[in-house]
Structure 1
Amino acid sequence: MTTITVHPEGWKPAKGYANGMIGDGRVLFVGGQIGWTPDQVFVAKDFIGQMQQALLNIRAIVRAAGGDVADIVRLTWFVTDKQEYLAHQKQVGAAYRDVMGYHFPAMTMVVVSALVEDEARIEIEATAVLSR
């Protein structure tokens, strides 16, 4: 799979995400993943633990489809507490890199009032472009 990061000339550098990505291959749409284990158990009750588990779930799905994290071209994050996210930026970055390495696709974050699972503090959906 080939991906190209798109960054308009003259724009300030994107920090921790890409403004755009171009991919050539099969498209995998990963439904929103929350911070529970494959057994649908919330082991982590905190934002960082749930974020890391949601990313691990996404990585597992992409790998099950024959890809890897470098094939992910977009992540959409839904968080229930903007202040909690902002207060833990350093831990967010460390937990992200633990799972995703230094791969930063196009990302969007949306603050929502609640998620369907009451214990969930974050939900992340992904799009990946896999080799043909």
Structure 2
Amino acid sequence: MMHPPLESQASPHDFLHPKHWKPALGYANGVVAKGRMVFLGGHIGWNGQQEFETDNFVEQIEQTLKNIVEVLKEAQAKPEHLVRLTWYITDKREYLANLREIGRVYKRVLGAHFPAMAMVQVVALIEDRAKVEIEATAVLPE
């Protein structure tokens, strides 16, 4: 079943969620989109000079999301154009222990827009200080 975007979302996409399933919390089960596609490689929680300003898990997530928004701007895209995020985290327990704070950071940076998402715990990331890496896909309306 296709659900239109929520009124609080200015998304040009349709979200997919079978009506007999429990509501998805914090992500869309699927997204249908048409337009110009923008693919972002994995971004981590360092600044534009490739320097870490913190080793705090939540602060690295915030910086990572801000980095994604900055790169999206280069394509004249906004967070509401995101259709998919793939998160790689180094510590599932740290993520779960900070869900509320992560949710606040997410909404502050990306708004109340929840594309299709996946999260994977990994042993390590290429940058030793990185605690999160996020790949993103956006679709700009035609």
TM-score, normalised by the number of residues in structure 2: 0.90
Amino acid at match of 1:89: L
Number of positions where the alignment pairs a residue of Structure 1 with one of Structure 2? 132
2:141 and 2:17 mapped to 1: Cα distance?
23
2:33 and 2:54 mapped to 1: Cα distance?
34
- Deviation, structure 1 residue 64: 1.1
Taking only the aligned residue pairs, the percentage that are identical comes to 49
Which residue number corresponds to residue 31 of structure 2?
21
- Deviation, structure 1 residue 63: 1.3
Residue 86 of structure 2 corresponds to residue 76 of structure 1:
yes
Deviation string, structure 1 residues 55-105 (Cα, Å, up to 9, x no partner): 001111111101100000000000000000000011110111110110000
Q: In structure 2, list runs of 5 or more residues that go unmatched.
A: 1-10
Of 15, 37, 45, the residue aligned with 1:5 is 15
Stretches of 4+ aligned residues off by more than 3 angstroms: none
- Deviation, structure 1 residue 2: 2.6
Of 104, 122, 132, the residue aligned with 1:122 is 132
Query: Root-mean-square deviation (CA), in Å?
Result: 0.9
Structure with more contact order per residue of length (Cα contacts < 8 Å, sep ≥ 6)? 1
Residue 22 of structure 2 corresponds to residue 40 of structure 1:
no
TM-score, normalised by the number of residues in structure 1: 0.97
1:125 is paired with a residue of what secondary structure? strand
Q: In structure 1, list runs of 5 or more residues that go unmatched.
A: none
